[in-house]
């Protein structure tokens, strides 16, 4: 009797899976059925992991085929189902609940990047946003001092086997810094990979929760830390801080180039000019452009990137940073300057 593919399929369809109560053809278990002369080959691909009926189904198929075609060569095999993938429970730490992650960078140290970061964070919080700050300047963490929480120590908890660091909150801003874990008088002597790993730990163990903005205060220049931040999270964009003087602008341009590099490709949200001018209290309206005039705004125009605004060099801003009371947390012209920066950043993020 000639063996036909159609009849073989009918015979296999007569075999029902004992537990599923349907035939193995309808269930899609019988696959790759082929007839070659006096031989019939097929694979039984089981649906459920650890299915105990694979062997009995194979034997039933052989019996049906041999009864219909005496002397037939049956080449059947059983393929176990892949184990069910167990989904890991969602992590509570990390930045999954953060809407916008913004890197604050500068090509050069001493331009007031951390001052801008702290006051910008406070200004965003005063505008009704949920804000966090990560002090990524591992070797020179200054945010605990500037937010008035030098003596604070973040609580570390274990939640269902996951170690979590609860950020310190000040002026409506959640913040974590390496400065919380080392003595203020001790120098942190780490090679690049150690510093990067330390930052990763703080970032991913941080119980940030739901945030509208997480500002990352990066170290000056371009380093392993910058690459770690870019690789570990999806940045909304970067803000570059510079003074108006040429030497600072040259380094700011390098930082802009790094973020714009095709391998990094982080959007440029804008440039901030810090220490733009000095105005003496006894001579209101008389501005002294100590570091030059409008250099950052001109550079932004040349490069085609947004200019977020200027901040003057004022004793009150320095005093606020030293005392842990950012000027953006109070009212007055200085707070309005940082509120303007916050509004400009919002506009760029929401474009």
Do 164 and 301 lie in one domain? The reply is yes
Radius of gyration, alpha carbons of the chain? 32
**Domain extent for 48:** 5-79
Quick: pLDDT tens for 17-48: 888 889 999 999 999 999 999 999 999 999 88
Do 125 and 209 lie in one domain? The reply is yes
Report pLDDT for 269: 94
> Looking at the domain assignment, is residue 189 inside a domain?
yes
Beta bridge partners of 158: 163
Query: What Cα–Cα distance (Å) separates residue 306 from each residue in 100, 268, 272, 299?
Result: 18, 8, 9, 10
Report pLDDT for 87: 57
pTM, to two decimals: 0.71
> Looking at the predicted structure, is the pLDDT value of residue 183 above 80?
no
Quick: pLDDT tens for 292-330: 998 999 999 999 999 999 999 988 899 999 999 999 999
Report pLDDT for 91: 60
Helix (H) or strand (E) holding 77: strand 73-79
Residue 208 in 3-state DSSP?
A: coil
Q: What is the CATH number of the domain that holds 244?
A: 3.40.50.300
Q: How far apart are CA 345 and CA 256, in angstroms?
A: 17
Question: Is the Cβ–Cβ distance between 40 and 75 less than 8 Å?
Answer: yes
Question: Is the Cβ–Cβ distance between 44 and 75 less than 8 Å?
Answer: no
Residues with Cβ within 8 Å of 321's Cβ and at least 6 positions away in sequence, in order, are 114, 115, 118, 145, 146
pLDDT, averaged across the chain: 86
Report for 88-97, 154-163, 166-175, 180-189: range of highest mean pLDDT: 166-175
Residue 312 in 3-state DSSP?
A: coil
Report pLDDT for 26: 92
Q: How far apart are CA 202 and CA 72, in angstroms?
A: 67
Quick: pLDDT tens for 43-99: 999 988 878 788 889 999 999 999 999 999 999 999 988 776 655 556 666 788 899
* Number of domains, the chain: 2
């Amino acid at each position: 009797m000639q063996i036909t593919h159609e009849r073989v399929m009918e015979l296999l369809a007569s075999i029902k899976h004992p537990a599923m109560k349907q035939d193995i053809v309808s269930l899609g278990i019988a696959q790759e059925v082929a007839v070659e002369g006096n031989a019939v080959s097929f694979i039984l691909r089981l649906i459920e992991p650890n299915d105990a009926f694979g062997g009995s189904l194979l034997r039933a198929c052989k019996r049906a085929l041999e009864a219909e075609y005496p002397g037939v060569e049956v080449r059947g095999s059983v393929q176990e189902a892949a184990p069910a993938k167990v989904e890991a429970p969602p992590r509570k730490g990390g930045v999954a609940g953060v809407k916008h992650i913004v890197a604050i960078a500068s090509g050069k140290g001493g331009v007031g990047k951390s001052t801008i970061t702290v006051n910008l964070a406070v200004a965003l919080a005063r505008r009704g946003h949920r804000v966090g700050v990560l002090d990524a300047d591992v070797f020179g963490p200054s945010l605990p001092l500037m937010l008035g929480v030098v003596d604070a120590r973040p609580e570390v908890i274990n939640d269902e086997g996951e170690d979590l660091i609860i950020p310190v909150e000040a002026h409506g801003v959640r913040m974590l810094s390496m400065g919380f874990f080392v003595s203020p008088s001790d120098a942190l002597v780490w090679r690049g990979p150690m510093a990067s790993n330390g930052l990763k730990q703080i970032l991913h163990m941080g119980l940030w929760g739901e945030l509208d903005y997480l500002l990352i205060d990066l170290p000056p220049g371009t380093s392993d830390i910058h690459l770690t931040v870019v690789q570990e999270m999806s940045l909304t964009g970067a803000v570059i801080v510079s003074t108006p003087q040429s030497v600072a602008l040259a380094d700011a341009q390098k930082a802009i180039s790094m973020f714009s590099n095709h391998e990094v490709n982080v959007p440029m949200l804008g440039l901030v000019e810090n220490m733009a001018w000095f105005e003496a209290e006894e001579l209101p309206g008389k501005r002294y452009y100590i570091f030059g005039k409008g250099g950052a705004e001109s550079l932004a125009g040349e490069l085609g990137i947004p200019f977020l605004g200027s901040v003057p060099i004022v004793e009150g801003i320095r005093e606020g940073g030293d005392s842990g009371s950012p000027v953006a947390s109070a009212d007055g012209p200085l707070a309005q300057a940082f509120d303007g920066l916050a509004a400009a950043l919002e506009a760029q993020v929401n474009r």
